[in-house]
Amino acid sequence: MTPAVGPEDGATNVTLHGTNFVAMSAADGMLVCRFGDAMVNATFVSGAALRCTAPPAALALAGATLVGSGAVLVQMSLNRQEFYSGAPFAYMPRTGTLLPPVPSSKGLRGGSVALVARSTALDPHFA
């Protein structure tokens, strides 16, 4: 499965790799991916690939069994009932998320200093 990580707000296009996938119409709604407890429609790409869009973490993580820190199991189904083995997908904060300021000290001549940090969890420049 690629990618195996995406932002908490979802909308990541995820490709599931395998063999012998069957071409089905997305309109019938039977070909689905399940991220934790959230089902989303899947699109047939080829006999070796399906594509689906990750739902927001709030939907996927609600009631789901976690397979790591912020990660859920992604599975696929051809009938919305029988799900096939999957792989973990981790939700991370978006790049540039500002974290709450943390007061760190008072200045000697008045005023104060606050630490403001930015999350770089999904920023390739900081990987």
Contact of 74 with 55, CB cutoff 8 Å: no
Q: For the chain, which residues score pLDDT lower than 70?
A: 25-27, 95-127
Q: Give the single-character DSSP code of 67.
A: S
Any domain includes 91: no
Residue type, 56: P
Contact of 2 with 42, CB cutoff 8 Å: no
User: DSSP of 70-111, one letter per residue?
Assistant: TEEEEEEESSSS-EEEEEEEEEEPPTTEEPPPEEEEE-TTS-
Any domain includes 13: yes
The predicted-structure confidence for 50-76, as pLDDT tens digits, reads as follows 999 999 999 998 888 788 778 999 999
Any domain includes 120: no
What is the residue range of 61's domain? 5-79
Q: What are the structure tokens assigned to 107, written together? A: 């200045």
Query: How many angstroms separate the CA atoms of 114 and 23, rounded?
Result: 56
The angle formed by the CA atoms of residues 118, 119 and 122, to the nearest 5 degrees, is 135
Residue 61 φ/ψ, nearest 5 degrees:
-85, -20
Task: Tell me the pTM.
Answer: 0.70
Any domain includes 100: no
Number of domains present in the structure of the chain: 1
Any domain includes 34: yes
Any domain includes 61: yes
Q: What are the structure tokens assigned to 11, written together? A: 């909308």
Any domain includes 32: yes
Any domain includes 127: no
Domain with 13 in it: what CATH number?
Answer: 2.60.40.10
SS3 29: coil
Q: What's the confidence (pLDDT) of residue 28?
A: 74
